[in-house]
């Protein structure tokens, strides 16, 4: 009787232990399967928001989305591309998320859902350093203006080309656009204020900012419209947590200083 008692206890324990083990494995397996890896579109020629250093992605946007993903327990993979390709890639279901110094606009809101704003930017006019005749956008009549495809800067130039009497040339990335003005091939360019001021502070591009900011663009993180409400909620919750716990300020400080 005593022997049988011990034996059955052993048996029961073995069953409990093995049941626990297999449950754990099953849960891990299910979690693995349900852990979708979200593809995040980034514009990697856009410091201080995103750039590549060796094989690493760096910048405010990169660190923010990494921290949000960690806080909200989801996985991401970066897809670098020209800014102008990001929204089309989202619409073609090749991307789930975009964080690319992307300004929140009414036009874009028709095709993507934006997170709460995470950065105040705004457009500005940039000319060659030795240009003394251009003090604002109103001095550009008859001149050629360089812009980057698909950006709010490009839209501003196109929408105002008649009124300002300007000719607009488009480039795929910001460095190519900067070069065009530094070379004297275009009179001015339009870029986001924090991006061009960071670029000028980093190295002498032979460029300077003129006039006031042209608008009050704010950056948002985009997900495909109407299809990713859970993910959008996680992004907004994560962003709020990073703002609360000081991570957001830390990230900004790393790239922009005090």
In the complex, which residues of this chain contact ligand GLN (CB under 6 A)? 43, 46, 83, 100-103, 121, 148, 151-152, 192, 217
Rounded-to-integer distance, Cα 15 and Cα 220, Å: 53
CB of residue 29 to ligand GLN, shortest distance in Å = 39
Token couple for 49: 């928001």
- In sign, the C-alpha dihedral spanning 251, 54, 149, 85 is negative
Rounded-to-integer distance, Cα 101 and Cα 217, Å: 10
CB of residue 138 to ligand GLN, shortest distance in Å = 22
Q: Which is nearer to ligand GLN, 166 or 222 (CB)?
A: 222
Rounded-to-integer distance, Cα 65 and Cα 70, Å: 8
CA distance to 161, 218, 257, per residue, from 221 (Å): 29, 10, 23
Q: Are 46 and 101 in contact (CB under 8 A)?
A: yes
CB of residue 45 to ligand GLN, shortest distance in Å = 8
Q: Are 99 and 65 in contact (CB under 8 A)?
A: yes
CB of residue 95 to ligand GLN, shortest distance in Å = 14
CA distance to 47, 180, 226, 237, 243, per residue, from 240 (Å): 24, 40, 21, 5, 5
The number of CA neighbours under 13 Å toward the Cβ of 127 is 16
CB of residue 101 to ligand GLN, shortest distance in Å = 4
Q: Which is nearer to ligand GLN, 73 or 120 (CB)?
A: 120
Host H or E run for residue 58: strand 56-58
Rounded-to-integer distance, Cα 249 and Cα 38, Å: 25
CB of residue 113 to ligand GLN, shortest distance in Å = 15
Q: Which is nearer to ligand GLN, 113 or 217 (CB)?
A: 217
Q: Which is nearer to ligand GLN, 96 or 192 (CB)?
A: 192
Q: Which is nearer to ligand GLN, 74 or 101 (CB)?
A: 101
Q: Which is nearer to ligand GLN, 102 or 221 (CB)?
A: 102
Q: Which is nearer to ligand GLN, 68 or 121 (CB)?
A: 121
Q: Are 96 and 187 in contact (CB under 8 A)?
A: no
CB of residue 173 to ligand GLN, shortest distance in Å = 8
């Amino acid at each position: 009787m005593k022997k049988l008692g011990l034996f059955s206890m052993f048996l029961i324990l073995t069953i409990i232990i093995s049941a626990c083990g297999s449950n754990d494995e099953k849960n891990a397996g299910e979690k693995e399967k349900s852990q979708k890896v979200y593809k995040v579109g980034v514009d990697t020629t856009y410091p201080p928001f995103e750039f590549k250093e060796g094989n690493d992605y760096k910048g405010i946007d990169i660190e923010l989305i990494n921290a949000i993903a960690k806080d909200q327990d989801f996985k991401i993979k970066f897809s670098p591309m020209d800014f102008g390709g990001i929204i089309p890639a989202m619409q073609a279901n090749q991307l789930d998320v975009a964080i690319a110094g992307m300004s929140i606009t009414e036009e874009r809101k028709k095709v993507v859902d934006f997170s709460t704003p995470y950065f105040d930017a705004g457009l500005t006019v940039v000319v060659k350093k030795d240009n003394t005749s251009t003090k604002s956008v109103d001095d550009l009549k008859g001149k050629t203006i360089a812009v980057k495809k698909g950006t709010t800067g490009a839209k501003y130039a196109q929408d105002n080309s008649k009124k300002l009497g300007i000719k607009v040339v488009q480039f795929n990335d910001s460095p190519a656009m900067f070069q065009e003005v530094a070379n004297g091939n275009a009179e001015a360019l339009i870029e986001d204020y924090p991006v061009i001021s960071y670029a000028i502070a980093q190295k002498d591009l032979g460029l300077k900012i003129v006039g006031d900011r042209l608008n009050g663009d704010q950056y948002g993180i985009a997900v495909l419209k109407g299809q990713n409400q859970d993910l959008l909620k996680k992004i907004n919750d994560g962003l709020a947590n990073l703002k609360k716990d000081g991570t957001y300020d830390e990230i900004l400080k790393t790239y922009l200083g005090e």
